[in-house]
Amino acid sequence: MVRKGDTIVVDRLEDEAGKTITVSDVLLVGDDKSSSVGAPTVKGASVTLKVEDHNKGEKIRVLKYKSKSRYRKTQGHRQLQTTLTVDAISA
């Protein structure tokens, strides 16, 4: 669930920083008084997002080990991510 002004982090997108993206695959739209659930999506609903930055996530260490054979291997991984800001939600 997101609101206007929220910042979210997703897997890396192709779009460059500063560009605006419109997402029309909205599953649920609601406010304090009412909500509408899509089957499978809400018709006419969209979310406008602004690409803020591209970065990498925290490092994950992967260890491989086999007992009694002196085999140890360490590998690291950092997932590529994109930071988005919600500009508008239209129902």
DSSP β-ladder status, 28-30 and 20-23: unpaired
Residue with tokens 């239209």: 90
Closest C-alpha among 57, 32, 29 to residue 44? 29
Beta carbons of 53 and 10 less than 8 angstroms apart = no
pLDDT score for 70? 95
Alpha-carbon distance values, 39 to 24, 27, 29 (Å): 14, 8, 12
> What are the tens digits of pLDDT across the range 56-78?
999 999 999 999 999 999 999 99
38, two tokens: 């899509």
Confidence of residue 41 (pLDDT cuts 50, 70, 90): confident
Q: Quote the Cα angle for 53-13-24, to 5°.
A: 110
